[in-house]
Amino acid sequence: MSRRTFGGDTFDPTLDEDRLRIQLAAVFKAVTDGQWWTLAQLSAEVDAPEASVSARLRDLRKPKFGGYLVERQRVPNGNGLHIYRLPRWQLNRLTGS
C-alpha cells in the first residue's frame, strides 16, 4: 500500500499519520485472508482499539485507500454484532489473477 494522507478535524499528521498507516496495513493484512472477522477479533489481531479498527475498515472502502468492498454481515442472534471480510475476488484484483 502506498503512502496516503488521512484527514479529519482532529487529525494531526505529526501524531497520527504513522500510527494510522500502520493500523491500516495491519487491518488490511488480516482481512485479506478472506475469513470473517468481528471487530473484537481484528482488534486483538492488530493490537488496536475496536473503534480504530472500524475506522480503518471504513478507510479501506475509500477510493484513496483502494476503494475495496469490505463485506459486512449481521451475526444472527448476535445482539447487533457484525462480521467483516474482504471477499476473495477482491484479492484477485490485488494479484491480477
pLDDT digits (tens, 9 = 90+) for 45-91: 999 999 999 999 999 999 999 999 999 999 999 899 999 999 888 76
* DSSP one-letter code for 65: G
Q: Are 46 and 32 in contact (CB under 8 A)?
A: no
Q: Which three cell numbers stand for residue 90?
A: 477482491
Q: Is the dihedral of CA 58, 60, 63, 69 positive or negative?
A: negative
Q: What is the pTM of this model?
A: 0.86
Q: Give helix 39-46 / helix 13-31 axis angle, nearest 10°.
A: 110
Pick the CATH number of 14-90 from 3.40.50.11540, 1.10.1040.20, 1.10.10.10, 1.10.10.920: 1.10.10.10
What are the tens digits of pLDDT across the range 1-22? 445 688 889 999 999 999 999 9
Q: Where are the domains of the chain?
A: 14-90
